[in-house]
Amino acid sequence: MYSQTRRPPPALIAMIAALHLAGIALLVAGAAQGTLLFGLGGLAYLLGLRHAFDIDHIAVIDNVSRKLIDDERSPAFVGFAFSAGHSTVVFMLCLLVVLTAGALAGRLEGIAALGSVIGTVASATFLSVMAALNARLVWRLWQRYAGRAMHRGEAGLGHGMGSRLLGRTTAWIDRGWKMYPLGFVFGLGFDTATEVALLGLSAGAAQHAGWPPWTIMALPLLFAAGMTSLDSVNGWLMQRAYLWGTDSRRRLGFNLAITALSVAVAGIVATVEWTGLALDQLAPASGLAELIAHLPSAVLGSVVVASCLGLWFWARRRGRGAALSG
């Protein structure tokens, strides 16, 4: 099994710090243009932090982390790599808008519409596969928790054709950094409120402030710094939580509960995305389509993170209490 550590890898911390330093350096270099850019930079950073709580980010990072831990691989870079891939799309679009002085900002609807379909299909497909794959882990955990050890050939869910197919589909994700291309495809949607707001900030700065393009690129850099920070923290916390729940029966029960929660979230998000995609094509003006379009993704993601952390702290507290009483 890979070496377990209580701290994030130094390389991960260094890469996140480099993004922060690059964004801040551009802000400082553009200070002669006025202080407004500092305010925009702070807003871009907050948008990145908020975007990391989107429910699809939470579901992907949690489920891939669980999959890698089951494969005895380190998931330390899952959150950063996924977020970095997503941020690359944001950076490229902002660069395009800035270099054209915002002239293309109002003409990106077609690109965004196509990207939205690609991003949604990729997201829904991947989450569906991960939900099904990790559902097998829930079954195995349940058998261990219930005291019925699995024997070779027992339980078709673990060794059937569907399981082998799912395993092959996700076999390429055997390292955290391989989440980068997946994050890039997810980022093609570019239709969330945070990303649209960042694009608007960049376009407005390019059109009205007269700042050099290289200083405005501080905005997508700081957006990426905020998003990669929280996505990395989420991945690290989930790694700690899953590894903590591997010893006693009490911890095994926690592991079972938190894995089932992640699987449920992935399945629900995938269902919502498939439904929204179908409604966009068949009944875009329907009430259900409007409801799905306005779901508070960041709020739902925050609820999931809070639930996982609350469950973890509760289980640890109960475990300490049981140890003291014993």
Question: Tens of pLDDT along 267-295?
Answer: 998 898 899 888 887 887 888 888 887 78
Residue with tokens 């991945």: 235
Is 1 within the bounds of a domain?
no
Angle at 236 between CA 235 and CA 238, to 5 degrees: 65
What's the whole-number mean pLDDT along residues 53-82? 87
Average pLDDT over residues 299-305: 84
Q: In the chain, how long is the greatest CA-to-CA distance?
A: 70
Tell me whether residue 158 is in a domain. Answer: yes
Q: Provide the mean pLDDT of the chain.
A: 78
Alpha helices in the chain (DSSP H): 10-29, 36-51, 55-70, 78-99, 109-145, 156-159, 161-169, 179-187, 193-204, 213-216, 218-244, 249-282, 287-293, 297-325
Cα 255–Cα 260–Cα 264 angle in degrees, nearest 5: 155
Q: What percent of the chain has pLDDT over 70?
A: 76
**165 is a domain residue:** yes
DSSP letter at 106 equals G
Mean pLDDT of 2-22: 83
Instruction: Specify if 5 maps to a domain.
Output: no
Mean per-residue pLDDT for 304-314? 81
Beta strand extents in 120-268 (DSSP E only): none
pLDDT digits (tens, 9 = 90+) for 234-247: 888 888 877 776 66
- CA-only gyration radius of the chain, Å: 21
At which residue do the structure tokens 């095994």 appear? 252
Q: What is the pLDDT of residues 150-194, one digit of tens each?
A: 444 444 444 444 455 555 556 677 788 889 998 888 887 655 556
Pairwise pLDDT comparison (72 vs 211), residue with the higher score: 72
Q: Contact 274/127 with Cβ under 8 angstroms? A: no
> Which is more confident, 303 or 162?
303
Report d(CA 163, CA 165) in Å as an integer.
Answer: 5
Residue, of 203 and 37, whose pLDDT is higher: 37
Measured distance CA(34)–CA(37) in Å, rounded: 7
Is 103 inside any structural domain?
Answer: yes
pLDDT at 150: 43
pLDDT the model gives residue 97: 78
Looking at the domain assignment, is residue 215 inside a domain? yes
Residue 225 predicted with pLDDT over 90: yes
What proportion of the chain, given as a percentage, has pLDDT over 90? Answer: 13
Look up the pTM and report it: 0.79
Least confident window among 44-53, 107-116, 210-219, 252-261: 107-116
Neighbours of 326 (CB within 10 A): 5
Residue 140 has which token pair? 């195995």
Between 148 and 86, residue with greater pLDDT: 86
Q: Is residue 73 part of a domain?
A: yes
By mean pLDDT, which of 34-38, 170-174, 311-315, 317-321 is the weakest?
A: 317-321
Q: Does 4 reside within a domain?
A: no
Degrees, nearest 5: CA angle 118-119-122: 85
Give me the domain span that covers residue 62. 10-325
Do 77 and 203 touch, CB atoms closer than 8 A?
no
How many separate domains does the chain show? 1
Coil vs helix vs strand at 15: helix
254 vs 320, higher pLDDT: 254
Three-state DSSP at 206 gives helix
